[in-house]
Structure 1
């Protein structure tokens, strides 16, 4: 039975860097991966989707070139070419990961499915590996809802939709979260009609209504249709199309399309890991229970990334790796407590977010100052003719520290990182009023935003 200093199950954005860094310290490490190195982010998540979003943005600019005084002519999207470009970018990252693993003699890659047969024993194919330290980074997969008739229709998920080589005539999207919105706008820009059916009364229900409403307005301006507050009761084939029976606003309607994307959430890849044989506890949905140090119920077993639940972002997975590695090898006592997590929705305009929303801050009983400006007040946005969206800041009225921010704008995810840094420094928002901003830039809008921060009831 091969003995290792560490076994890492899954090569996502926590498992991959952790296995490499431990090997660099001289640990004998077994890395187990049943599919491609890099996990969801590299293969079916961040990398391919943002690559295709870039192609969709080019199509959007070309189709609207007249707005900038440019005559582009007829725009035709070659989806097979878009997919080929996406595949090249994915392969570039994937092969880079393969090379990094192969370069490390102390790192042994096992191809296959891992299953616990004891607290510190894992079977891969015919081999049984053993270690006192095991790290689980198996991620998640699409969670397909129990919807009558869904099994009888051809549906797509976030991976299979990126293998299409012809633009759908009419894409139905079940779910209005990050995945549904990003793919919905992408395929609208490729040339599809798009209808998004969403259970909640507003898009992105966690966000403030003014932020979500501004994004919805921008997307509707591009021709996306939304059915909100909707309960979908049935899916079926009708005359060669997919038909969804939807109840919303006291009425029932049938929504028809040529293709259906199911984007209703994710579930953990834990049901076939043999966790019960190891004694590793999960919650009712199958996510692995961990403490603030990412330790499971079994000593010497950790869970990192999406498989443990919580914010499902690549940067959280990477931070999980940083915490575990530092605690193991640098004598630190880092935890996940009070992590300040920025995130983005890669629509256009892009939503960059950090900290509390206004409604969350109000619910916490804070005395607040709030400032909001439309992007139409920002010179650079006007010059680019990209004025959709807004900037919003939520401030603690007693300390003048930033509690949260939403930047719905071109490259909102980049802009919000400035506010994230100010929050990490514990500095008051007034620090940004005294800054000198390059003119003309989108960040220059922060000065105007700070001027609008006022106490609210």
Structure 2
């Protein structure tokens, strides 16, 4: 049996913890069945956002005539684009793995692992590995819903869709969340006809409803969108795949394409890990339960990232890795602070948000005021000819505390950060933004004007 000071399961953000432990002189086992770097480097953020940047360029060219400039998207080297991105992320993963292998204090196991006892795992063909401390960072994987006939066709998951050798002419996407939105945009912008079948009544249904409704309307201009439909059967006839779906009243639709992407969410990788054998509690969805210190129910076992399910974002996992270093490696007990947690969806337009949505505030029975500003009401918004985008602020009526901020429009992923900075400062007030001098006429003025609008709002929303 291999006995280590620290065992880290998962080479995504868990790799940061493994390296931090090794640099502290601890003897570390790092267990990762797939490429080092995990989902983000290999099958998620890095390749998807790099590919989506190509879509942004194609869209900019396609819109050039709106600005009096002749432009035309000619031939697209789809295979070359995907090959370049794949080569880049694979190279990064290989360099990360070599760093681990070269470190005197890290033993790398490129194997499947499962718990067999407290802080003890069986790795690969039967070797047992144990640690004085264990960090569970084994990530998540795509959900494949139980749709009749799905297992009989060659469907894609997000991992496959980022590495296709050839571009499909028509793609059907099952799912209406951020993966469906981002990859649907990428493929459509590069010339694929895309149909999206989502069971919620809006795309991006976890966003503030006003944002989701606006995004869904924009998506309908780009794709064939069927919201409120549950996929029931999938079949193949030659090269053509047909998805049949029903709405709540039982009315059917059939959508065809030559490629099918299943983007129905993600589930934790606890199914093969057998955490119960180590006394690690999971919730009814399979996520590892953690407390505010990222401790699990098992002594000297911590969990972080997607498998813990607190926030399924890479930046959340990165933040949690720092707390794992403090709590697990340095023996402290510092509670995780998620107060400045935000997120973004890299589509066109971009979507970003932080804090509560209006529906959540109503559900909590909390009073709030709303401030808004449309992109079109700013100089740069007009320059961009942006007609749909807006910033929406939700605030406590008396203290002026920021309860939530939601943005849809160009550069939303960047604009949200001044709100996150306010929240991170511990203040989190409307005046943090309104008292800041904003350079004129930057796009950030749309955020300023939305926050100023809160101060002009007399009406209080009563749930």
Q: Check whether TM > 0.5.
A: yes
CA contact (8 A) 2:302 2:328 kept: no
Q: Given that residues 227 and 248 in structure 1 are in contact (C-alpha distance below 8 angstroms), is that contact kept between their aligned partners in structure 2?
A: no
Distance change (3 Å), C-alpha of 1:188 and 1:6:
same
Q: Distance in 2 between matches of 1:240 and 1:138?
A: 36
Q: Once the two structures are superposed, what CA deviation does each residue of 1:331-389 show, in whole Å capped at 9, x if it has no partner?
A: 54222465442111111111111001122122222221111122111211222334431
SS in 1 for 2:22: helix
Deviation at 1:239, TM superposition (A): 5.3
* Secondary structure, counterpart of 1:343 in structure 2: strand
2:265 is matched with 265
The answer for the alignment partner of 1:77 in structure 2 is 76
Instruction: Out of 97-106 and 174-183, give the one that drifted further.
Output: 97-106
Alignment of 1:342-361 (within 5 A): 342-361=342-361
3-state DSSP class of the match of 1:319? Answer: helix
Q: 1:5-404, aligned counterparts within 5 Å?
A: 5-13=5-13, 15-125=14-124, 126-221=126-221, 223-238=222-237, 240-248=239-247, 250=249, 251-330=251-330, 332-336=332-336, 339-404=339-404
CA distance in structure 1 between the aligned counterparts of 2:73 and 2:40, rounded to whole angstroms: 34
Give CA deviations for 1:108-128 in whole Å, capped at 9, x if unaligned.
212212222211222223432
C-alpha distance in structure 2 between counterparts of 1:101 and 1:201, whole Å: 46
How many residues end up aligned between the 2 structures?
Answer: 455
| Cα 1:428/1:279, change in 2 over 3 Å | closer
The match for 1:433 is: 434
Q: Give the SS at the match of 1:243.
A: strand
Give how far 1:237 is off.
1.6
Equivalent runs, 1:398-413 vs 2, <5 Å: 398-413=398-413
Give me the whole-angstrom Cα distance separating, in 2, the residues matched to 1:54 and 1:16.
27
Note the C-alpha offset of 1:25: 0.8
Are 1:415 and 2:415 an aligned pair?
yes
Rate the CA distance shift 1:203–1:28 in 2: closer, same or farther, 3 A. same
For the Cα contact (< 8 Å) 2:339–2:424, is it kept in 1?
A: no
Per-residue CA distance 1:300-326 (angstroms, 9 max, x = gap): 222211112232111111122111211
Contact 1:33 1:112 in 2 (8 A): yes
Q: Which moved more, 1:336-345 or 1:184-193?
A: 336-345
1:447 shift after superposition: 2.6
- Shifted more, 43-52 versus 230-239: the winner is 230-239
Kindly indicate whether the alpha-carbon contact (under 8 Å) linking 1:289 and 1:308 is maintained by their aligned counterparts in 2.
Answer: yes
Q: 1:98 to 1:50 in 2, by over 3 A?
A: same
- Distance, in Å, in 1 between the alignment partners of 2:65 and 2:213 is 27
Q: Is the 8 A contact 1:200 1:228 kept in 2?
A: yes
Residues 1:375 and 1:131: Cα distance change in structure 2 (over 3 Å) = same
CA contact (8 A) 1:63 1:75 kept: no
What TM-score does the superposition give when structure 1 sets the normalisation length?
A: 0.94
2:460 alignment counterpart: 456
Counterpart contact for 2:3–2:130, Cα < 8 Å: yes
Q: Is the 8 A contact 1:172 1:196 kept in 2?
A: yes
The separation in 2 between residues aligned to 1:233 and 1:274, in whole angstroms, is 31
Extract unaligned runs of 5+ from structure 2: none
RMSD across aligned positions (CA): 1.9
